[in-house]
Structure formats: structure tokens, C-alpha cells
Chain A
């Protein structure tokens, strides 16, 4: 994906989060999954800014390594985002792969995960903090 495509994608995903919340979606776990994929596209956009060969390198790797590679790149280029992004990733991964445990998320917990997107990842500008 190109830089502008990532931007378009996270904006679309964010609209979906807002729409689901406005319509009182009761599947709160899926909101966390969408929040993660929203963050993923924003993070891909950020990495792309600092490392233009990122997509090329990522696509040369096996699909199964993409998440781990992305996290490694977050560490290298946006260390301040890592702990939040990884926490959102782990929650989303658990929800996706262990669906027999779906619908266990309560509203306060959802808010904490959505705040990772709204307060930490979304506002991050594509330049180092230092």
C-alpha cells in the first residue's frame, strides 16, 4: 500500500468505530479489533515516512512475519508508541484467534483500548519526539 492509501484506510476505519459507537454496537470486542487495524494503518504510514522502503521490505517477507516486523520497526523509529501499540495488538490478536472468548469486554476496558488510538497513536506526527 502507498502512504496515502494507509491514511485513507485509517480514516475509514475510524469512521467505522464512530458509527458503531453512535449506533450502540454491543460487540465491544470487535471495536478493539477495528481500533487495532486503525492504529496499524497509522503506524504503517508513520514508518513509511521515516523508512520509504518499508512496504517493499515488508512485502518481501512471509505474511506470518508482518506483525512482528512492524513491531520491530515501531521500536526502531517510534519507541514512544510501542508499549501502547503492542498492548492494543496483543488484545486484538487474542480476540481474533480465540473467538470462543468473545463478548467479554466491558465498557471501561474498551475505553482504555480506544484511548490508545485517540490519545496516543492518532495524534503522533511523523517525526521523532527527541
Chain B
């Protein structure tokens, strides 16, 4: 609490805000992350994915593994290998590609036994959906 108070006294004008952001790695990282999401128009895509995957109980998580050459590589974590679920994931991605054309997407899916979700959370991957 004292620390927060001290910070609020320090921030008096734009210049002090700039300096505070510059010197505080957590604030600057969060700021950059929010800014990046805003300028990439990514939120509607993420919202769409969340809405679509929520009803599939065996989809445990979806996260952005990487974005390379303007391709969003989405990784799905599922409860167990299931062909019909894989087909449903393909349909979700197909609709996504159609709606958000010309953005390009790639995808992979793993079972919860094949990858450790917690490790990816710890490594700061961008989670779009996480079933708790």
C-alpha cells in the first residue's frame, strides 16, 4: 500500500508517467502487450475463438504459440485424442479463416498428456482460452 502511495505521488505529469513506464519493466511489458493487441485487431479473433470453443468440454485450452510471417499459429490442448473433436476444431478454424480473411492461421492440437499447459502459462504464452 505504501509503495502504491509513493508511486502515485511520484506520477504527476506525462513526463513522470513516461519515466515510470520506462523504468518499470512490468508496467512497460503490460503496456506494450495491450497496445500490440489493440493495433493488431486481435481481440475480435480471440473473442470469436473463445465463443466457439467454450461449448466443447474436451477443449481445455487455446493459445497463440507464435506469430511468424503474419501467420497466427494456434495451439489447441484437448482432453484426449478424438477424431471427431479434431474435425470440430478444423471447422472452427475454417470459419475463423473465412470470417477474418485475409489473415492467415495455422494450428496444432495436443492432448493434455502430450504437453504441459502450466509450462506454457509460466513461459508467458498468450492464452486465448483456458478451461479451469
Residues of A within 8 A of B (CB): 62, 64-65, 67-69, 71-72, 75-76, 79, 82-84, 86-87, 90-91, 93-94, 97-98, 101, 109, 112
Contact = CB atoms under 8 A, between A and B. Distances in A.
A112 B71 CA distance: 29
A72 B101 contact: yes
A86 B90 contact: yes
27 contacts: A64-B68, A64-B71, A65-B69, A68-B105, A69-B104, A71-B97, A72-B97, A72-B101, A72-B102, A75-B97, A75-B101, A79-B94, A79-B98, A82-B90, A83-B94, A86-B90, A86-B107, A87-B83, A87-B87, A87-B89, A90-B90, A90-B108, A90-B109, A94-B108, A94-B110, A109-B81, A112-B83
A78 to B, nearest CB: 11
B22 interface: no
B79 interface: no
Interface string B66-93: 0011110000000001010011011101
Contact of B93 (A69, A86, A109, A112): A86
Contacts of A68: 71, 104-106
B70 A83 contact: no
Say what secondary structure dominates the interface of chain A: helix
Contacts of A67: 106
Contacts of A71: 97, 105
B95 to A, nearest CB: 9
Given A75-B98, A90-B108, A65 B90 contact: no
B124 interface: no
Contacts of B71: 64-65, 68
Contacts of B108: 90, 93-94, 97
Interface in B1-55: none
A54 to B, nearest CB: 15
Contacts of B89: 87, 90
Nearest to A104: B81
B114 interface: yes
B4 to A, nearest CB: 45
Interface string B91-129: 101100110011011111110001000000000000000
A91 B86 contact: yes
A83 B105 contact: no
